[in-house]
Amino acid sequence: MAVTETTTTTDLTYSKMRGIAVFVAAFIKQRKMGLNDFIQKLVSNPQICQNHDVHVFLQIDQNEPEEEEETYSNSNRSSLASDEFDLPTSCSVKPSDFHYLKIIGKGSFGKVLLAKHKDNQKFFAIKVLQKKMILKKKEQKHIMAERSVLLKNVEHPFLVGLHYSFQTTDKLFFVLDYVNGGELFYHLQRERVFLEPRARFYAAEIASALGYLHSLHIVYRDLKPENILLDSEGHIVLTDFGLCKEGIEPNCTTSTFCGTPEYLAPEVLQKEAYDRTVDWWCLGSVLYEMLYGLPPFYSRNTAEMYNNILHKPLQLKANISNSAQELLEGLLQKDRTQRLGARDDFLELKFHDFFFPINWDDLMAKKITAPFIPTVTGPTDLQHFDPEFTQQPVPNSVGSSSEDILITASVQEAAEAFLGFSYVPPVNDTYL
């Protein structure tokens, strides 16, 4: 019996060691995953650090050049000195770090919630996505692209900022700037049209944001009033980067059919190659809607609307300035090679007569007082959000960990599909 027990114990020990060895080998293969996924893996599996191969890996010469990796930006990199992996578990982020207060939006893959960080008491908008829904619709590349774009947006005043991203077994979490001035769509619905100075102010802030994205070789592709938020001071915040396309340099094109029907450019509808000028078409459509109350070629009949976009001449009423008419004609040019922005991108808009009243330096510094300031009493004032969302109960499952979920083949697939998703800013970042 003693021999049998000893043999069993040895077999179990060997099996356990072999399991760790296999895990270590797989782990080292995944060294390109995001730094914070890497740290969290170490924190949750401290025995790995004792493995000789991992120990050697953590002793990488700090002068060794870093590998290029598209899925995270320079702001998310740091040297891999071994002492940096003695980080406490608080350096990772998890669902239970937040109080989830209200649902403020919903999408195809999940919900957006107002949340308050338990430690620093700051308010955030947390986008919670269901992995199984993303995989079912084969949208994982778009989600990872959204994360990548968000990490590049931290320096622009009119793009929503990413504070953290993390994942559980079944969910993805984007922790974003909380903006509670309401969607531009919400305000446009209430007021029907905006006066030209107000429309110019919004169009200038949107154009500067799109120009910044283009400078990073990113095409936005889904500009519409629902994706344009107002902050509490009345400034634009562009959000939702799920349809962004990276790597589109000035002379490059792409061909994916995507966007929102009312704002699709003719070349997209015709399934032709298109470039960054699709964003200027969309800006023209949004500006037209701000000035006239509807998108330029709108029809309740989608087929008719598509035909209008392709063939109907642009119709402009005389109740706007000549410079506004000229700008709309330039942006809503059906031939993309003749469209305003086709040659010098944002600079062509920046120096257009319509924007003559804009001091662009003051605009970027938010020194220009917004023509409309939303009435909000504080972070928990949700009057500019749709009650359809805010009146729904917050699911208890949102803030709970999912370690108890049975690890099935589909769950494993979901985990592998989002390697490198997690992001925590450097410790000296002002977000913390």
Say what the alpha-carbon torsion angle 298, 299, 302, 306 is, to the nearest 10 degrees: -50
Residue 179: Cβ-neighbour burial (10 angstroms; 0-12, 13-18, 19+):
buried
Catalytic residue among 37, 177, 222, 345: 222
Euclidean distance between CA atoms 323 and 326, whole angstroms: 5
| Beta-strand pair 245-246/218-219 | antiparallel
Q: Tokens in use for 285?
A: 């459509």
Q: Are 374 and 234 in contact (CB under 8 A)?
A: yes
Buried b (16+ CB within 10 A) or exposed e, 276-296: bbbbbbbbbbbbbbbbbeebb
**Beta carbons within 10 angstroms of residue 390's beta carbon:** 15
Residue entry with tokens 């995507």: 258
Does residue 329 sit in helix, strand or coil? helix
CB-based contacts of 240, cutoff 8 Å, min separation 6 = 146, 222, 227
Which alpha helices (H) appear in 72-195, and where do they start and end?
131-136, 140-152, 184-191
Which alpha helices (H) appear in 91-130, and where do they start and end?
none
Does residue 330 sit in helix, strand or coil? helix
Is 136 labelled a binding residue?
Answer: yes
Sheet holding 162-167, edge to edge: 98-106, 110-117, 123-130, 171-176, 162-167
Q: Which string of DSSP letters, residue by residue, matches 288-304?
A: HHHHHSS-TT--SSHHH
* 353 labelled catalytic: no
Catalytic residues: 222
User: Where is the binding site for ATP, in residues?
Assistant: 136
User: Where is the binding site, in residues?
Assistant: 136
